[in-house]
Amino acid sequence: MTYFNIDEIHKLNHLYKINLINSCAGFKSANLIATKSNENNTNVAIFSSVIHLGSAPPLLGFILRPTSVPRNTYENIMETGYYTINHVHEKIIKDAHHTSAKYDSSISEFDVTNLETIYKNNFFAPFVQDCPIQIAMKFVEEYDIKSNNTKLVIGEIQELYIKDKLLKDDGFIDLSEGKIATINGLNGYAIPTLKERFEYQRPIR
Amino acid sequence: MTYFNIDEIHKLNHLYKINLINSCAGFKSANLIATKSNENNTNVAIFSSVIHLGSAPPLLGFILRPTSVPRNTYENIMETGYYTINHVHEKIIKDAHHTSAKYDSSISEFDVTNLETIYKNNFFAPFVQDCPIQIAMKFVEEYDIKSNNTKLVIGEIQELYIKDKLLKDDGFIDLSEGKIATINGLNGYAIPTLKERFEYQRPIR
């Protein structure tokens, strides 16, 4: 196996290091977070850090780097309290990834890509059209992570839209049936095929 | 599309709700966190919440539910300061998933599964043998998430072992080449195949 200790990691060149450390935690979720400012400027940016925090209440979190691209996302969420989470699927991975380019806040990524907004049920923030899962989120709280100046942003699910065929009788959403993407590192994409679902595990004997 | 609002979500039966909300954020990482108490009791538990927090310093986080199985994991980390993160791969998904069963802290999941410990380079906590990525972690800090009583546990990478063929010239780790798993919901597993890596994105014009 190839081995790196912490001193060797610190000394790696920047690009090598961010590729390595961004890949090493495993596969990541692939979501577009869409927002709108009070002046009606829309914004959409790709995130690979959306995570499940709990089901009751239904909470999702994501990590925001202070110096990174999706700064407009954060400003709009703080200003309005609302955002949407939309799943990246096979047909839009190229446009979704392009939202990582550093556009000025006056430019909407919806205008420079084929991604389209859609408004539903009077929710303030736009959804991304045709995504197999679309989630309306309300900001709840944030934590400043001292050790590296990132933020954990937490929101509550307000509304959940799921393409019918993905939703199974027991509430399981089959992400594979929606050809939903997963992210490897900074820029690798896969469309996984579900292999197996296990039963609830009890101790042996 | 199937639609749920927050009131409908609150009223769902427990199992349906945890399947639904655990699936709705997208694909998740699949890792075994291994620890050892000061009395040499080992513990290993599956986690689907390990996330990348930053590369300089190299930090990973994971979410812990206070009432959930991997409580021993947390106690050992707090007691000793060390743990390992080991990637779940195709050959061990069944045993890895079985670590979610509620064993008493006196029983090591290494004893009731085919998972084996391996100690390397005098690191205190055991690694899981044959995992294509093995990471030695040192506890850094934790955050109590007020909105649902979970914890975000943050650690720094001390040592990183990667199966040689997965590591590319630019530091990218090809998780697919290691047949590394991703988790869908509470109990769905996939072994993704890398589809595409994109270039660094710059604004158009």
Sign of CA dihedral A73, A155, A54, A91: negative
Task: For the full predicted model, state whether its pTM sits above 0.80.
Answer: yes
What is the model's pLDDT at position B170? 97
Rounded to whole angstroms, how far apart are CA atoms B136 and A5?
9
pLDDT band at A25 (very low <50, low <70, confident <90, very high): very high
Q: Check if B68 contacts A (Cβ < 8 Å).
A: no
Interface of A with B in 2-61 (CB under 8 A): 2-6, 9-10, 12, 15-31, 48-61
Rounded to whole angstroms, how far apart are CA atoms B78 and B73?
9
Would you give the DSSP letter of residue A11?
A: H
Task: Report the candidate in A160, A95, A100 with the shortest Cα–Cα distance to residue A132.
Answer: A160
What is the model's pLDDT at position A69? 57
Strands (E), chain B: 2-5, 28-29, 31-36, 42-47, 51-55, 58-64, 82-87, 117-118, 127-128, 133-145, 150-162, 182-184, 188-190, 194-197
- CB distance A27–B31 less than 8 Å? no
Q: Name which of B121, B128, B129, B160 to mutate to probe chain A: the one with the most chain A Cβ atoms within 10 A of its Cβ.
A: B160
Q: How far from B78 is each of A18, A152, B7, B67, B75, CA to CA, in Å?
A: 28, 22, 38, 16, 5
Q: Across all residues in chain B, what is the average pLDDT?
A: 95
Task: State the residue for tokens 């045709």.
Answer: A130
What is the model's pLDDT at position B68? 62
pLDDT tops 80 at residue B86: yes
User: What chain B residue is nearest to A169 in terms of C-alpha separation?
Assistant: B16
Task: Report the candidate in A25, A143, A12 with the shortest Cα–Cα distance to residue B59.
Answer: A25
Identify whether the C-beta of residue A161 lies closer than 8 Å to the C-beta of residue B2.
Answer: yes
ipTM of the complex: 0.96
pLDDT band at B70 (very low <50, low <70, confident <90, very high): low
pLDDT tops 70 at residue A91: yes
What is the model's pLDDT at position A102? 87
Task: Say what the alpha-carbon torsion angle A128, A134, A140, A143 is, to the nearest 10 degrees.
Answer: -70
Task: State the residue for tokens 């990525």.
Answer: B133
Task: State the residue for tokens 């450390």.
Answer: A21
By Cβ distance, the residue of A1, A163, A167 closest to B162 is A1
Would you give the DSSP letter of residue A114?
A: S
What is the model's pLDDT at position A198? 94
pLDDT tops 90 at residue A104: no
Task: Report the candidate in A197, A51, A27 with the shortest Cα–Cα distance to residue B89.
Answer: A27
Q: Name which of A198, A200, A202 to mutate to probe chain B: the one with the most chain B Cβ atoms within 10 A of its Cβ.
A: A198
